[in-house]
């Protein structure tokens, strides 16, 4: 019965979601070409606000608990668990002061209105998961870019989405490389709960009435701790929140 009810709401959501992507694709192009980085960033911020708000059409409520004051002119390495595609818009919107950029697979750099354009032109990095050397080189360049411009990188160390909400093992290489080449950054763990439920039936239909919770945890200095200390801290604080 729940699945049957979800069909019409999912159709409505996807119509609105698709329209948002198309409209903001044009807005992004105009903003970047005509006014530069800051205008483009603002357009991306509001794109992700609109996507987050559109989830209300499914009765989905997103709560973002951020008790941590965000410092200006400070790079962050945002370390988060990953449960669905819908993890990303709230992070971009609610942590917009940190200028979050992403490490994404190269396949996302083509064919998706708004999303692909932002990944190619907004400061994120596209990697080939099959080419380890290219991936590491790209992440090194990414870390140096974040340091130079005082921006922040988002990394999902699990590598893939958790389809049941359970935390997977963190892969070390990407996170270790980011920490090494963004030494002045603060490492900011973020835990996400229940977004996996939005895709528990796949891409269609989407369930109605999901409650997604984000929580920002206390940051720690990258240069003041060993990699193992940072790894253990991020994994443990996120794992504890999910249990």
The CATH number of whichever domain residue 212 belongs to comes to: 3.40.1130
pLDDT-derived band at 102 (thresholds 50, 70, 90) equals very high
- Kindly give, in sequence order, each residue whose CB lies less than 8 Å from that of residue 186, ignoring residues fewer than 6 positions away: 71, 74, 75, 76, 77, 219, 220, 221, 222
pLDDT on residue 49: 98
In this prediction, residue 129 carries a pLDDT of: 80
pLDDT tens digits, one per residue of 167-201: 999 999 889 999 999 999 999 999 999 999 999 99
Query: Mean pLDDT across the stretch 118-134?
Result: 90
pLDDT in tens, 11-49: 999 999 999 999 999 999 999 999 999 999 999 999 999
Residue 243 pLDDT level (bands cut at 50, 70, 90): confident
- pLDDT digits over 39-86, tens only? 999 999 999 999 999 999 999 999 999 988 988 889 999 999 999 999
Give yes or no for residue 133 having a pLDDT over 90: no
Say what the pLDDT of residue 44 is. Answer: 98
Q: Give whole-number Cα distances, 120 to 25, 62, 64, 114, 116, in Å.
A: 12, 27, 27, 10, 6
Q: What is the reported pTM?
A: 0.95
Per-residue pLDDT reduced to its tens digit, 194-231? 999 999 999 999 999 999 999 999 999 999 999 999 99
| Structural domains of the chain, count | 1
Range of the domain at 105: 2-242
Q: Report the percent of the chain where pLDDT is more than 90.
A: 88
């Amino acid at each position: 019965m729940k699945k049957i009810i979800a069909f019409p709401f999912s159709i409505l959501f996807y119509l609105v979601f698709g329209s948002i992507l198309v409209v903001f694709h044009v807005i992004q192009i105009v903003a970047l070409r005509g006014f530069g980085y800051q205008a483009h960033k603002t357009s991306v911020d509001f794109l992700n606000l609109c996507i987050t708000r559109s989830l209300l059409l499914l009765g989905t409520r997103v709560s973002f608990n951020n008790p941590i004051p965000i410092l200006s002119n400070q790079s962050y390495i945002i370390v988060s668990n990953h449960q669905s595609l819908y993890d990303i818009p709230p992070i971009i919107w609610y942590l917009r002061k940190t200028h979050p950029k992403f490490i994404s697979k190269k396949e996302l750099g083509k064919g998706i209105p708004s999303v692909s354009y932002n990944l190619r032109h907004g400061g994120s990095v596209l990697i080939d998961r099959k080419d380890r050397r290219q991936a590491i080189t790209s992440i090194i360049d990414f870390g140096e870019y974040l340091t130079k411009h005082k921006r922040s990188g988002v990394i999902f160390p699990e590598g893939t989405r958790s389809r049941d909400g359970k935390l997977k093992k963190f892969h070390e290489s990407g996170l270790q490389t980011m920490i090494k080449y963004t030494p002045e950054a603060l490492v900011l763990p973020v835990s996400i709960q229940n977004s996996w439920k939005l895709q528990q039936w796949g891409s269609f239909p989407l369930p109605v009435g999901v409650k997604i919770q984000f929580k920002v945890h206390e940051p720690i200095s990258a240069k003041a701790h060993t990699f193992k200390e940072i790894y253990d801290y991020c994994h443990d604080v996120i794992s504890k929140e999910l249990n």
